[in-house]
Amino acid sequence: MLLSQPAIVADPSPFALFVLFNVTGSYSAVARQCSLLHALVNEVNDNQPGANLKAALSFSPSFCQKMKIETPTDFIDFQALGEGETHAPATQCDFFLHLHSNRVDLNFYLLRKWISPIALDVNILDETYGYRFFDSRDMTGFIDGTENPQGDEARRHVALVPEGPAAGGSFVLLQRYVHKLASWEAMSVSKQEEVIGRTKPDSIEREENAPTSHLGRVDLKENGKGLKILRHSMPYGSVSNDHGLLFIAYCHRQYEFHTLLKSMYGERDGKKDHLLQFTHPVTGAFFFAPSVGVLEALR
C-alpha cells in the first residue's frame, strides 16, 4: 500500500488547524507548493522536538481533474441537504489543509510559512483552530468519536483506498458546525442523553434509543456490518463568537459519507437527527487526499 499522508491515520493531537482554499492565480504554482508541504513539516519537526506536527492536503473533484490526480471514478462535489433550520449548505472549494500537533503556535507558523510563496495565488475561505476539550469531548459535554476504529491497522482499513491508481488516498468530509449551547444546556442531562443516544459521563450506549437520536442516525449498518469512518473532529471557537464542532472524517469510500448525511438530514426515511435542533453546519465540502507519492509528484 502506498504511503498515506501522516495526519490521516495518526491519532488526533491536542491542537488542530483546518483551512479551506480557492485558487485565484496559478494552479501550477499552487500544485508545486502542495508537493513541498511534507518536507516543510519534517523541517519543523526536526527543529522543534516533541511537536508531533502532522499534515494532510486534499483536493476537490475539479482540482483533481485539472491536476490529473487519480481518484475513484465516483468522486463528486458536496451537495446541499435538508431545508430550513436543518439545512446543510454546500460550500465546495478547491482544496483543504488539515494540520494537527502538540502546539497551537506551530500550526499557525506552518500555515504562514507554507502559504507565503503562493499568497497571491490562493484565497483562504475558512481558517479554524481546533483544540481538545476536556477528555476528547464535544462542547455538548459528550465524548466525541467513541466508535472510531482503534489501532493503526484498523484505522488504515477504514480510511485508505486499498488498491488501484488512488491507493493510499482517502476521501474527506468536512463540515463546520455552530452549536446553540444555551438551548442545549437548558435541558436536563437525561434529555440530552435521549438526543445523543449515549450516557454523558462515560459514553455507554443506551438500551433503548429513538430512531431520531444522533446515534440512531449515524450508527449505520448494511448486511450486518457497520459503515465505519475515521473521525478527526475537534471543538473550536470562542465564547464571544461562533463555537462548536469542526467535523472532519476520512474514509476509503465516499459512499459512507453520502449514506451518513442522508440519514442525518432525513433523506433516507424522512427522520432527521434530533441533534440538528441544537447545532447547524455553515460549511460542507468533499475532498480527496492522495498518497504522499502522488502529492509529491505534483511538483
- Section 100-126 average pLDDT: 98
pLDDT band (50, 70, 90) for residue 222: very high
Residues paired with residue 245 on neighbouring β-strands, in sequence order: 177, 235
58 CB contacts (<8 Å, ≥6 apart)?
A: 95, 96, 98, 170, 172, 287, 288, 289, 290
Strand, coil or helix: what is 205?
strand
CA 189 and chain centroid, separation = 28
Provide the residue type at 8 as one letter. Answer: I
Q: Answer for the pair 148, 230: CB distance below 8 angstroms, yes or no.
A: yes
**Cα dist from 180 to 184, 280, 283, whole Å:** 6, 8, 16
pLDDT band (50, 70, 90) for residue 85: confident
| Per-residue pLDDT, 201 | 97
- Section 24-41 average pLDDT: 98
pLDDT band (50, 70, 90) for residue 1: very low
Residue 105 designated active-site = no
- Stated as kind and residue range, the H or E segment containing 103 is none
Residue 252 clears pLDDT 90, i.e. is over it: yes
pLDDT tens digits, one per residue of 182-204: 999 999 999 999 999 999 999 99
The full set of domain ranges for the chain reads 6-296
Question: How far apart are alpha carbons 235 and 178 in whole angstroms?
Answer: 10
Q: Which of 91, 112, 115, 98 is nearest to 57 (CA)?
A: 98
The catalytic position among 74, 126, 135, 144 is 144
- Section 18-25 average pLDDT: 98
Residue with cell 465546495: 92
| Per-residue pLDDT, 242 | 98
Q: For strand 279-281 and strand 170-179, is the pairing parallel, antiparallel, or unpaired?
A: antiparallel
- Section 225-229 average pLDDT: 95
* Mean per-residue pLDDT of the chain: 97
238 CB contacts (<8 Å, ≥6 apart)?
A: none
How is residue 119 annotated by DSSP? T
pLDDT tens digits, one per residue of 162-189: 999 999 999 999 999 999 999 999 999 9
Q: For strand 15-23 and strand 95-101, is the pairing parallel, antiparallel, or unpaired?
A: antiparallel
Instruction: Say what percent of the chain tops pLDDT 90.
Output: 97
pLDDT tens digits, one per residue of 239-251: 999 999 999 999 9
| Per-residue pLDDT, 299 | 86
